[in-house]
Amino acid sequence: GAGVSQSPSNKVTEKGKDVELRCDPISGHTALYWYRQSLGQGLEFLIYFQGNSAPDKSGLPSDRFSAERTGGSVSTLTIQRTQQEDSAVYLCASGGALDTQYFGPGTRLTVL
Amino acid sequence: RKEVEQDPGPFNVPEGATVAFNCTYSNSASQSFFWYRQDCRKEPKLLMSVYSSGNEDGRFTAQLNRASQYISLLIRDSKLSDSATYLCVVTIQGAQKLVFGQGTRLTINP
């Protein structure tokens, strides 16, 4: 069956521009997570959605970062006024329980 | 101090060797424990969960020592295809997120 998909796979942008990253979770999965992985670093939690509950935004690094999940399915991560330190691979995962998180292939963001 | 710490390696071992990775976690409220595998430029994939009693999956054995807050992964009879980065992962009680170590890079040489 279809796994988690993310788009675009690669994004190059200029400092100061806004970017939107998209995640399509596995159908039926109620939980959706965003992480980011900077070069040589471990994965860093950003935000978590579970059903209709208020999202856990505790990992968002600044107010330039926001995310939405529409209709309990597709999610968009938005980064406003991008900075060079935002360059990373942004990974989305979906699942029903913590030990069944399935990751998408990620979006590699490069801010010039 | 990072919540989950791993030796980043790299570990370079010959095919057929046995290799062990260690991981320590700092939060005593850590609840669940996992090893994930991440191939170069790919997403992480769950390798195995780790239980207090220890568990085995083929050539892979995982151990958890809650008293020492220490997790290990043992790979026996290593294969070329085992080359990857191995991520130690924990969850914290009450927090719905995975906390990742920075990973240990393993290369199996022919």
Query: Which tens digit of pLDDT belongs to each residue from B42-100?
Result: 999 999 999 888 899 999 999 999 999 999 999 999 999 999 999 999 988 877 788 99
> CA dihedral defined by A67, A45, A36, B42, rounded to 10 degrees?
-120
pLDDT in tens, A28-51: 888 999 999 998 778 999 999 988
What is the predicted pLDDT for the residue at A1? 57
Chain B residues lying within 8 Å of A46, measured CB to CB: none
**Is A56 in contact with B87 (Cβ distance < 8 A)?**
no
d(CA B20, CA B8): 13
Per-residue pLDDT band at A99 (split at 50, 70, 90)? low
> Cis bond leading into B14, ω under 30°?
no
B12-50 burial code (b ≥16 CB/10 A, e <16): ebeeeeebebebbbeeeebebbbbbbbeeeebbebbbbb
Interface test with A, best of B7, B23, B40, B43 (most A CBs within 10 A): B43
Which amino acid is located at B107 in the chain? T
What's the rounded mean pLDDT across residues B18-41? 92
Place of tokens 């399935």: A102
> Cis bond leading into B10, ω under 30°?
yes
